[in-house]
Amino acid sequence: MTPPTARRAAGAMSALVALGLAGALAAAADAAATAYDPERAFDIESLVPAGLGLPPRDVPVLLVPGWLDTARDLAALRIRLIGAGWPADHVETLTFEDPTGSNRDHAVELAAAVERLRQTTGAGEVDIVAHSMGGLAARWYLRHGGEAPIRRVVFLASPHR
């Protein structure tokens, strides 16, 4: 016969296990209800924190690809931005001449792309959305004098460390 304290402890442990299992099942049901939907992968409205609203659509956006990527790899994001109200001529995607080039070389190309976008749109500032290694080129550009014409930079999975 087990002492009463041991029985109570075993009963409490069984209850905790049952509650944990019930919680896990409930979490799984919630996850299934909010499963990944590829159609919403670049749903711009859902990515903006509540209360902030979307940025002004008159600020052009330069999309900067990652290592070995091209403009084609960011086409879905470009289409979503245009669908969210940015004019097509205000959303440009950069393709680096050498996708394996140095951050310095990419920063030079990025600077030229920013200037072209400012010239074609007449905008004073540009927003940059940089993916992966494109974020390192954007950082290089900003550190070496490119910050003046940039309003905001968004890094998507850039390896800053």
Supply the range of the domain harboring residue 52: 41-156
For range 121-145, the mean pLDDT: 95
* In a domain? residue 64: yes
* In a domain? residue 161: no
Query: Residue 128's beta-bridge partner residues?
Result: 62, 153
pLDDT on residue 51: 61
- 30 and 45 share a domain? no
- 23 and 76 share a domain? no
Query: Residue 154's beta-bridge partner residues?
Result: 129
pLDDT for residue 19 is more than 70:
no
* In a domain? residue 143: yes
pLDDT for residue 15 is more than 50:
no
**pLDDT tens profile 61-94:** 999 999 988 889 999 999 999 998 899 999 999 9
* In a domain? residue 116: yes
Mean pLDDT for all residues in the chain: 79
Domain count, the chain: 2
- 47 and 9 share a domain? no
- 137 and 112 share a domain? yes
pLDDT for residue 20 is more than 90:
no
- 61 and 14 share a domain? no
- 65 and 110 share a domain? yes
CATH number for 56 = 3.40.50.1820
pLDDT on residue 24: 46
pLDDT band at 128 (very low <50, low <70, confident <90, very high): very high
For range 130-150, the mean pLDDT: 93
For range 97-114, the mean pLDDT: 94
